[in-house]
Amino acid sequence: PSRPSLRLSSGRLKRALEHMGETAWPRGAYLKLLDLLGHPQAAKALRHAPVLEAEQVGALAALPSVLLDTGLGGLGLSLHQARLVGEVFAALQTRDGAETAAAVGRRWAKAATARDMLGLVEDDLMPELPPPALVGTARLRPLATREAVRDAGRRYRNCLRHQVKWAATGVSIFFEWMGQPRAIVEITRDKLFGWRLEQARLEDNASVPEPTRAAICAELRSMGVHVGRTEWEVMDAIENAAEPRFVLKPVEDQIASYFTA
Of the listed ranges 35-49, 51-65, 147-161, 186-200, the least confidently predicted one is 35-49
Cis previous bond, 181, omega within 30: yes
Question: Edge-to-edge strand order for the sheet containing 140-142?
Answer: 140-142, 172-177, 183-190, 194-201
Nearest to residue 173, comparing CAs of 134, 137, 228, 220?
134
Among 41-45, 82-86, 158-162, the range with the most confident prediction by mean pLDDT is 82-86
- Mean pLDDT score, 152-165: 90
Q: Is the pTM for the entire model greater than 0.75?
A: no
Distance of alpha carbon 47 from alpha carbon 39, whole angstroms: 12
For position 112, what pLDDT does the model report? 94
Q: Considering only 9-13, 22-26, 155-159, 213-217, which range has the smallest mean pLDDT?
A: 9-13
35-83 pLDDT, tens digit each: 777 777 877 877 766 667 777 888 888 899 899 999 998 898 999 999 9
Q: CA–CA separation, 247 vs 255, rounded Å?
A: 17
> Which has the closest alpha carbon to 200: 225, 222, 224?
225
pLDDT digits (tens, 9 = 90+) for 103-142: 999 999 999 999 999 989 988 888 889 999 999 999 999 9
The tens digit of pLDDT for each residue in 2-40 reads 444 444 444 554 455 555 555 667 766 667 776 777 777
> Residues 22, 28, 29, 32: what is their CA dihedral angle, to the nearest 10 degrees?
140
CB-based contact 191:231 (threshold 8 Å): yes
Instruction: Give the closest residue to 209 by CA, choosing from 249, 241, 180.
Output: 180
Buried b (16+ CB within 10 A) or exposed e, 150-169: bebbeebebebbebbebbbe
Which residue blocks in 18-53 are alpha helix, DSSP H? 27-37, 40-47
